[in-house]
Structure 1
Amino acid sequence: MLAETVRKVREMDPIGGAWYMDGKKVIIWVDASCIATCVALGANGTVIEDACWLHPTNDAQHINLVELDTALKGANLALQWRATVLHFVTDSVCMHQWISDTLTGKARVNTKAAGEMLIRQWLETLKSLAKEYELSIDIKLVKSYQNHADSLTRVPCRWMDLLKEGREPMLGSCAAVKQLDGNQVADIHHQSGHPGVKRTLYFARKVDPHVSKETSKFIVKACETCRSIDPVLVCWKKGKIGVKNNWGRLAMDVIHHNGKNFLMIIDCGPSRFAIWRSLHWTDMITVIRQLESILLDRGPPMEILTNNAMAFTSHLQNIGTYICNFDVRTHQVEIVL
């Protein structure tokens, strides 16, 4: 399936060759199927962008609602190209009639579907976009084979047959379901590319629906590859950062306020004295200069608490070594990340 998909993309991808955006007029091909929705954006006789979205497995929306949603997504893509003339092309008779009646106002939108209110809401949204951005919108009805977005939402029938055959054992009796142990769940986790707890549980339950979430958590936590790529967070001991003496322990961080950066230092002693210094840049050198000014004015503390931000862990120079060498005659400063 993967090899065939790559071959189809190379042969039938609408986007290819030299293209450019000249003017404000675009053609938006939209299409939807039971599997996915697709939008192809064209200008000057060339498709310049396309996008495809798969439906959720529990999606129960009617195909006409999905077609309208796809039209809104196509309008959003066109607005990103700063287009003002949108020409929709679709093979859906209902969507063509609804959008035409909404934009022209010649007739009232006639629908008695279960999602009538959603249909009217989406149509009003499209009408509001046209009014807000001063868009000129029209729509054209074509055959499916003339829709450039149609080929991006289709899969071969033999693929669907293979998927149905793969689901048959799980729809049979309980005796046909394979029971998995911890080692087999670990093998599924490894073969799936070391995903997280939820994805590991999803793939394991496709074989054995009775696999528990605790088993998936244990497998992911014990996986050496996952721990090396995304190590488990360290469980810190509970306690208090407050101290009895003023200016003995400082908490330092870079914060953002009204679009500006500040270096904030708070005394963990009883005074809770706070100092804010404006930062033009949040790099190591700027932080060191402001910190040097504060320590020259009030003296070095015994301990400084910081996080693991790049400004405090930069390889350009070590902030801990710098502060320890700042004034060794009075205090030995410890940096705690």
Structure 2
Amino acid sequence: MSVVPLRLAGGAFTVWSQMPAASRGSLVEVQETLYAAFAMDSFAAYDAFCCRRLRTGESPDVFLSDLRRLAVLFGGVPDKALICAFVSGLPDSTRQAIRAGSRAEGLSLEDKNKTKVRPVLDYRELNSHVVPYTADADVCAATLRKWRRHGTNVAIVDLKRAYLQLRTEQSLWPFQTVMVNGQRYALSRVGFGLNVAPLIMKAVVRAVLQQDPAMESAVLPYMDDLCVNEDLVSAERVVAHFAQFGLECKPPERAAAGARLLGLHVRAVGGVLRWARDNVVGPPPVTLTRRSVFAWCGRLVAHLPVCGWLRPAAAWLQRRANAVTNSWDQPTDDATLRQQIDYVASRLARDDPAHGRWHVEGNHAVVWTDASSIAAGVVLETPTGDPIEDGCWLRRDETAHINMAELDAAVRGINLAIAWEMRRLDLRTDSATVHRWISDALSGRSRLKTKAHGEMIIRRRIDMVKQLVDEFGIDLSVTLVPTAHNRADCLTRVPVEWVRGDDPSVGDPAVAAAVVGPVTDAGEDDAHGADAGVVEDTVGTRESSAISEVHAKAGHPGIRRTLYFARRDISPSITRSQVQKVVSDCDVCRRAVSQDWY
């Protein structure tokens, strides 16, 4: 191929004219000479490569080509580094979306537990045009409850290769194509990542089971996993039934001999099926970020039915990680978070609460409920004392009365029992007020008596309990138990050291510890006695004025709530005695018929 210098202008034509006559017609030699004359040096090319960003109106293809050109000038970079430079040069919104997508694909390509490689395609664009109807989608927690009530003689059957057994219509192949080494390939099976793939799998499995009524009643499916009650149909018959429709299954696994059911390891212990944790939690993350802490906490509790003390601890760690970081991947060296994680890891090694009885039968259950300033907890157990499921919900930073939190916990406990299809409930609480409210409402012995600020909310909660009892035909009894005997108490507590030093904005944990519980005036005087002699009267007057302003703005609450608002809005060092003096001197509170002193 010869070169005709029709479009070489300025310096380019001068360089070409100075070349040997034998080399002027060679395209390769002309290109090398022009590059050598006009290309930037390696240092300038590297600086330009690092600073290069997508320009307004520029095509992404042009941007990527220019990055490749600059990389060649300083020696080249691996493809992975080129991709990272390309993504870093995109606008912020696009860059974050691509990073999230690349992480998701990286996790999906290889299952770390099974070292199995699956064909995962980038379905993000296709998924934006496909609307999944998920109202009828299976929920793991709900399916787990059904499986645990499906009998004791159960086996698990797993479809082999799941989605890869589902063929797609040939007209749909163009929507699942990839380019490999310059060659276009079409995936003729359902790929991993399609948003409607789980619904397709569910529809196929349901259609196969509906061909045999006995099979349909004996098998409970969840995606490609089948729970078979062998008192009705043998697992081998289920395997043969699916083979008739071209679906190959793995050999059945009996629960009594040890099997994995929905992420739980189930085996017979003393003639009774019991479940335990099946996943390996692993050591705590070395680098603490919000993402790594949340991932580790997810492995701690996951979808396990019973976790005990681990639930509030994991939730507390996540809340702490949120407080000390501003983004998902921002590292933190927070010493408090590290100490809390180490405590959970060491206690988990010697006291893992994730285990229990697998099979649940009957419609009688005991519901333990409790609440504290930290969390609300619920434990559902059999009449014989075997825990079925528990739950924990951290409370927000609020001043809602503890009686309201106890009542909310009772409602949550009843809802959990209804989800298990229990109809005879023994509700046990350590709150005398909640016990009286619900007992009086069920028996009709007396009307609800309360003058709290949330009176109407309390009445609505009580009406909700009555409606649940009436509509579901529940036989509900309420029992008052001591706090020391409440099985849900551990779900509402974390180590006291965590509460004292949890606020990242407070430097001295001893000051933050004042919000843990009631502190006597004598203790506060001892804590602040050293400073009392040096604090000027003007400072005390200013603090009293500020407390009075907070007290009035909050609607003249009692000492406890005023103390909360004062420590939140003024200073954590505000003492109870200061607040008590302001409230006792308040003219509005003096004229009130009743005072909120507690």
Structure 1 length as normaliser, TM-score?
A: 0.47
Which structure has more RCO (C-alpha within 8 Å, separation ≥ 6)? 1
Q: Would you tell me which structure has more strand in proportion to its own residues? A: 1
Structure 2 length as normaliser, TM-score?
A: 0.27
